[in-house]
Amino acid sequence: MTGLEFTLLMAGFAAAAAIVVLVRQAISPVRDMRLMRCPETGSVASVCTERVSRGTGEESEVQVRSCDLWPGKQGCARGCLARYEQTAPGYLINVESLKPFERP
């Protein structure tokens, strides 16, 4: 194998690695999205969540990074997180988690 062939082979590997990184970055936000019902408006929204560690030895908590209803409802109480465990990441639909919240 000549130096030129080796250089072209390495450039091909680098290009393939760059493509993998770009595709992963493009898919990553969708992977964290969940369909949730807003208890305040009653509408179904796409909510991006993330687990945040509070410190050493403590259990992580779920926070909302973005929501389809923002910026209008950005200061909400995040009541949708009450059904977080019923939802699945990546837009998989669980009908039970999308039922309307009961009003007191």
pLDDT tens, residue by residue, 14-67: 999 999 998 887 766 556 778 888 888 888 888 888 878 777 777 778 888 888
**CA dist list (Å): 58 to 52, 54, 55:** 10, 6, 6
**Which pLDDT band holds residue 104 (cuts at 50, 70, 90)?**
low
DSSP 44-82: EEEEEEEEE--STTSPPEEEEEEETTTTTTTTS--GGGG
φ/ψ of residue 63, rounded to 5:
-125, 155
Q: Hey, how many other C-beta atoms are within 10 angstroms of the C-beta on 48? A: 17
Helix, strand, coil percentages, rounded to 5, for the chain:
40, 20, 40
